[in-house]
Structure 1
Amino acid sequence: MRDLIDAFWRASAYCLHPRVIALSVLPLLVAGGLTLAAGWFFWEAAVDGVRATLEGWLLISAFLQWLDSMGAEGFRAVLAPLVVVALAVPVIVLLSLLMVAVMMTPALVSLVARRRFPTLERKRGAGLLTSVMWSLGYTLLALLVLAASVPLWLIPPLVLVIPPLVWGWLTYRVMAFDVLADHASRGERETLLRQHRWPLLAMGVVSGYLGAAPSLLWAMSAVTLIFAPLLIVVSVWLYTLVFAFSSLWFAHYALAALQRLRVQAGAAPPSAGPVPVPAPAAEPPALPPA
């Protein structure tokens, strides 16, 4: 627990470093630009399509008519944009995580290693292509889990539990691999991921709930849906900051654990092998007769 808290405060301090702030600009521009373009060109079409689909379902249509009779006509206008936002937010979160993992994490790990662990050897247990494929594979798996769990989101408590847990698990799998890819060998990485599985998972879950915090923008008022395309870009910026902090948190914790692992491996006595038994001394040759 002490190591987790120490890495947490160090990561918080590093977020104010000018280099970290500068590194956050590129993923923000890429992810923010993609989401802004998607909102600009597809927002109205997506809302109209979702509204037509919802009104085509007899159960939802009857529910909306009942709301109209109860004087809640405004909910009909809000429902379709709300569904579009609910479907878009998980994709935006995963996009922000990928952008940070690919564009920021290697540089942030190098910054932490240079300032805190200058003598830590780089064993390059995984290359950039391996890290990208690892991140993409687990991102696709997380998307499948989120898509399969959408019906459970209709249960009020679960919508506050399932998405952050999935994001946290994904953050743990992606960040823990990326921060160790350059410095740890494959064997060291597997050992650390096995020995520190639960602390790393806890860090991922905390990061997942921190990543869910920007979603509170949509809970402020129905008026926020009017500015949804702009607020989605603001959400991307907040997600980028959260995952940049998570990357620094994982870097401080994992590199410190790697250094301890190597110190312990260097201090361990060599395994005792079989002790060779000296051969018996040869008898001296007999003296010739006098």
Structure 2
Amino acid sequence: MSHQDLALRSSHAPNGLALVAQAFRRAAASQLHPRMIAALFLPFIIAFLGAVVLLWFFWTPLTGWLDSEASSWGMFNTLDGWLVAVGLFSLKLWLVPLMAAGLLLPMAGIVGLGIAAIFVMPIVLHHLEKRNYAGLSRQGQNATALGTWNAIWVGVLFCLGWFFTMPLWLIPPMALVLPVFWWAFALNRMLRVDAMIEHASPAERRLLWRRHNRQLWLLAACLAVINLIPLFWLVMPVFSALVYAHFCLDAIGRLRAETVIDL
């Protein structure tokens, strides 16, 4: 292939925002495949069971602790007393359960995302490898161990960050900004690793993460916004894996195609 041929090919290749849009289009098409539809149930079932367990064991102690903590918030109690006095409602009666649900349900969600990253992503990669990226060699090492460790530390940091920034939700518009930020962080830090570790070498991963850092964060931000819509919760773990897998596998293929040998 000559330099002129490579330049012509590169001029027609998508880049920037086009790569992000391409990943979403391909993921939507792949999600309709029966195998990917079947893959939806594993992370959903895990997340559902996790939510049941968390609510069963931690709801009462957590709401009790939040109720006792809320009693020391002077301005909160003043406002709550005023609302009760004028015959409206008790702010504490509504806020404490909402805060408890806001803590426990995201923890169940991050468990579902971790399951998707560790166990569903290999299924996604194998499916796409045969249908869309045939011939893309696997050069990764210790994929399972790296993916598991990455999912653990990202999940722990997500839970801690979510917990300690919840008081900021009372400051508009942080109740919208912070959930999007933390889910974008979890999606990007978890899925960009699992989408590459089986196919890309360590050197390729470092190069591609630097080259496509903005696009990877944009993927995560878009997915985090979609994640705010309850109707999409069922498909989000697998669909997110598909988006990142399409983007990363395509990026690996284009990186390896950059080597030019003039005949």
Same structural fold, with TM-score higher than 0.5 when normalized by the shorter chain = yes
Report the Cα distance in structure 1 between the residues aligned to 2:74 and 2:194, rounded to whole angstroms.
48
Report the Cα distance in structure 2 between the residues aligned to 1:71 and 1:104, rounded to whole angstroms.
51
In structure 2, the partner of 1:248 is: 242
Report the Cα distance in structure 1 between the residues aligned to 2:18 and 2:246, rounded to whole angstroms.
13
CA contact (8 A) 1:93 1:211 kept: no
Q: Secondary structure at the match of 1:118?
A: coil
TM-score, scaled relative to structure 1:
0.78
Displacement of 1:89 in angstroms is 3.3
Report the Cα distance in structure 2 between the residues aligned to 1:135 and 1:38, rounded to whole angstroms.
19
In structure 2, the partner of 1:64 is: 80
CA contact (8 A) 2:196 2:248 kept: yes
CA contact (8 A) 1:94 1:139 kept: yes
In structure 2, the partner of 1:3 is: 19
CA contact (8 A) 1:172 1:200 kept: yes
Aligned with 1:197 (options 213, 230, 233):
213
Report the Cα distance in structure 1 between the residues aligned to 2:261 and 2:171, rounded to whole angstroms.
53
CA contact (8 A) 1:109 1:179 kept: yes
Report the Cα distance in structure 2 between the residues aligned to 1:174 and 1:127, rounded to whole angstroms.
13
Report the Cα distance in structure 1 between the residues aligned to 2:89 and 2:18, rounded to whole angstroms.
53
Displacement of 1:204 in angstroms is 0.9
Is 21-30 or 184-193 further displaced after alignment? 21-30
Q: Does 1:148 align with 2:142?
A: no
Q: Does 1:124 align with 2:140?
A: yes
Is 63-72 or 190-199 further displaced after alignment? 63-72
Higher radius of gyration, 1 or 2: 1
Report the Cα distance in structure 1 between the residues aligned to 2:81 and 2:243, rounded to whole angstroms.
50
In structure 2, the partner of 1:15 is: 31
CA separation of 1:145 and 1:44: change in aligned 2, threshold 3 A: closer
In structure 1, the partner of 2:99 is: 83
Paired residue type of 2:173: P
Displacement of 1:77 in angstroms is 2.6
Displacement of 1:48 in angstroms is 4.0
Pairs aligned (count):
247
Displacement of 1:27 in angstroms is 2.0
TM-score, scaled relative to structure 2:
0.85
Residue by residue over 1:179-234, the C-alpha shift from the partner in whole angstroms, topping out at 9 and shown as x without a partner, is 111111111111111111111111011111112222xxxxxxxxxxxxxxxxxxxx
Aligned with 2:63 (options 47, 51, 68):
47
CA contact (8 A) 2:44 2:234 kept: yes
Report the Cα distance in structure 1 between the residues aligned to 2:137 and 2:58, rounded to whole angstroms.
48
Paired residue type of 2:249: L
Identity of paired residues, percent?
Answer: 28
Residue segments in structure 2 that go unaligned for 5+ positions in a row: 1-16
Residue segments in structure 1 that go unaligned for 5+ positions in a row: 215-234, 271-290
Aligned with 2:191 (options 160, 175, 180):
175
CA separation of 1:256 and 1:46: change in aligned 2, threshold 3 A: same
Report the Cα distance in structure 1 between the residues aligned to 2:82 and 2:255, rounded to whole angstroms.
64
Q: Secondary structure at the match of 2:116?
A: helix
